Structure 1
Amino acid sequence: MEAHKHSIVKAIRYIEEHLDTELSLEKVSGAGAYSPFHFHRIFRLITGETLQNYVARRRAEKGAFYLAMRKEMSITDIYHQSGFSNHSAFNKAFKKYYGISPSGFRKAAPESFHRIVLEESKKGQMDAVFSQYICNVENLLNWMNMNLKIKVGHLPEMHLAAVMSLGVAHVEPSFGTLIDWAKGKSLFPREQVKMLSVYHDSFKVTPPDKVRIHACMLLDEPLRKQEGEVFPETIEAGKFIIGSGEVTLDDFEQCWVSLFLWMNENEYSVRNAFPFEIYHTNFREHPEGKMIVDFCIPIH
């Protein structure tokens, strides 16, 4: 099964890099070094979805993210970049996953940061429901001011070793896999080792059991090739909103919500890159379960 997981990770990475192109079973299975016949069954076994459903969902989610976060993009540009051939196909697929048209979704999304919750309706359809995480925005900003120091700054290029997690529940095992790999190379434990989580999906549009989170370790030199489940990843140098604080795991959602709210109120826009967390301490070593974390949002 481990060998299968390695190949499926390659296939998923191929899908994400080519969402705006034709993704045939032959192309994707080839990226994972499988025959199409075997690939389809193994992909479903590991991800819980057929390849067709996975690609359709990811395209709809990419479109939803752009609709919510990239107000300057036209719907035409969004559906092209999300892999849809025309507006009709985008509209049909979007309604299937969110129960609302793309234009309706964009109008319903409030200016301040809200998370999108997928709820089962009485008819059994998935509806997009916008619910405010904390009802009073002022309370959220006060919480942020007490718990986070926010700055806008430039971060250098970072070379990472990464293990993909499909779903929040699998993040901790992914870090375990990464640490075992690092121990074998005498990279862990050592002074000043930095661990990161890189979010390749947004919780606003992707269910928690399907979101892709990469468990990562900062390296001095780039990893040249994939080694088992561990593959190279690079965070490009650029401008970021950085919120730093000593928080518990239960505080993470409030940290992200408040940072995106701060971003909107200060008229910054998200860059086409992935947000991430940098862990400076281990919550298991703190009597109150706290850890020092940098929450980083890429911006223009």
Structure 2
Amino acid sequence: MTATLTHYQDRMRRVLDHIDRHLDGDLDLAAVSSVAAFSKFHFHRQFRATFGISLHRYVQLARLRHASKRLADVTGHTITEIALDAGYETPDAFARAFRQRLGQSPSGFRKSPDWEPWLRAFGPLTSARSRLMQPTYSSDHVEIRTVPTIPVAMFEHRGDPATIDVTIQRFIAWRKAAGLSPRTNPTFNIWYSERRPADPADYRMDLCVGLNAGQGVDETDDAVRIGEIPGGRCAVVRVTGDSHDLEPAALYLYRDWLPASGEEARDFPIYCQRFFLDEPGLTTAAELFLPLK
């Protein structure tokens, strides 16, 4: 029963990954149900039962979110191009839908994005992805490595974790302006607090960009500082597919693997490195690092 359920959920996760990669393509019921090899006559009910949202609305929100991110990249495509790529027949139809959902016009959002309504508007997408049973881990998934010290530029997030997407968008804009591509400068996250502290104001993490030898950044932005991720022994778990939520892997390391391993955690927070993959069927992955003595 467990293996069957896991297989079923893997098929449904494959659907979300397919949608994410084909937002400008054909995402009707027949096309999407075939990705998971489910009957189109039942799939719309299966999708809603699994994710708590209809397939049609999920696709609409995913396309609109992707369009909003492209708008925030002011050096990118025109509003008309973004509207058509998002599946709208005219820019006016796109503008009406955008304003209704986000409370700003596309041009207004491009000039000055208001990220608080953005978070509320696309909350159903985050909720949908979190409804599936989380993956399970075993000691076979853990590798102990000795890693080098990594110089990084650190972009701080302090406060309610519900607003992390706002910081992420600022981080993306900052690294683009600094010319630090994810393809040439690796991306790291460092967590200093638990995922949901009793007081949301206590939440603290850094989004980091690895720096090459001799490479520096402008530190005039108060949110940015130069630092390092110290080298040493680490327990490492690789997460592929849906790497948005690393909590299950972190819980396994702390709750199951560490007590049974005889190892002790080093005095540095848990962190991850994020990867952008070229393999067919995969878009991102992450490696979670638990520093060891």
Q: TM-score normalised to the size of structure 1? A: 0.50
Show the counterpart of 1:255: 206
Show the counterpart of 2:236: none
Paired residues, number: 199
Higher alpha-carbon Rg: 2
Show the counterpart of 1:29: 33
- Asked if the contact 2:51–2:128 (Cα under 8 Å) also holds between the matched residues in 1, the reply is no
- 2:21 counterpart (17, 38, 56): 17
Distance in 2, Cα, partners of 1:288 & 1:172: 33
Distance in 1, Cα, partners of 2:219 & 2:127: 26
C-alpha distance 127-56 of structure 1, shift in aligned 2 (>3 A) = closer
**SS across alignment from 1:20:** coil
- Asked if the contact 1:47–1:166 (Cα under 8 Å) also holds between the matched residues in 2, the reply is no
Show the counterpart of 2:142: 189
C-alpha distance 92-172 of structure 1, shift in aligned 2 (>3 A) = closer
- 2:269 counterpart (277, 287, 290): 290
1:103-156 C-alpha deviation (Å, 9 max, x unpaired): 1111222xxxxx822389xxxxx679xxxxxxxxxxxxxxxxxxxxxxxxxxxx
1:99-114 alignment, distance < 5 Å? 99-109=103-113
C-alpha distance 62-253 of structure 1, shift in aligned 2 (>3 A) = farther
Q: Does 1:94 align with 2:91?
A: no
Distance in 2, Cα, partners of 1:85 & 1:289: 52
Structure 1: gaps (5+ residues): 110-114, 121-125, 129-164, 195-201, 207-235, 266-273
Distance in 2, Cα, partners of 1:4 & 1:71: 41
C-alpha distance 247-81 of structure 1, shift in aligned 2 (>3 A) = same
Q: TM-score normalised to the size of structure 2? A: 0.51
- Asked if the contact 1:276–1:296 (Cα under 8 Å) also holds between the matched residues in 2, the reply is no
- Asked if the contact 2:115–2:166 (Cα under 8 Å) also holds between the matched residues in 1, the reply is yes
- Asked if the contact 1:277–1:295 (Cα under 8 Å) also holds between the matched residues in 2, the reply is no
- 1:50 counterpart (42, 51, 54): 54
C-alpha distance 166-100 of structure 1, shift in aligned 2 (>3 A) = closer
- Asked if the contact 1:43–1:50 (Cα under 8 Å) also holds between the matched residues in 2, the reply is yes
Q: CA deviation at 1:53?
A: 0.3
- 1:75 counterpart (76, 79, 88): 79
Distance in 2, Cα, partners of 1:297 & 1:252: 26
Distance in 2, Cα, partners of 1:69 & 1:253: 26
Show the counterpart of 1:148: none
**SS across alignment from 2:185:** strand
Q: CA deviation at 1:278?
A: 10
- Asked if the contact 1:20–1:81 (Cα under 8 Å) also holds between the matched residues in 2, the reply is yes
Show the counterpart of 1:215: none
C-alpha RMSD over aligned residues: 5.0
Greater percentage in strand? 1
Q: Does 1:240 align with 2:185?
A: yes
Distance in 2, Cα, partners of 1:96 & 1:263: 38
Runs of 4+ more than 6 Å apart: 261-265, 274-279, 295-298
Distance in 2, Cα, partners of 1:10 & 1:249: 29
Show the counterpart of 1:151: none
Q: CA deviation at 1:74?
A: 1.6
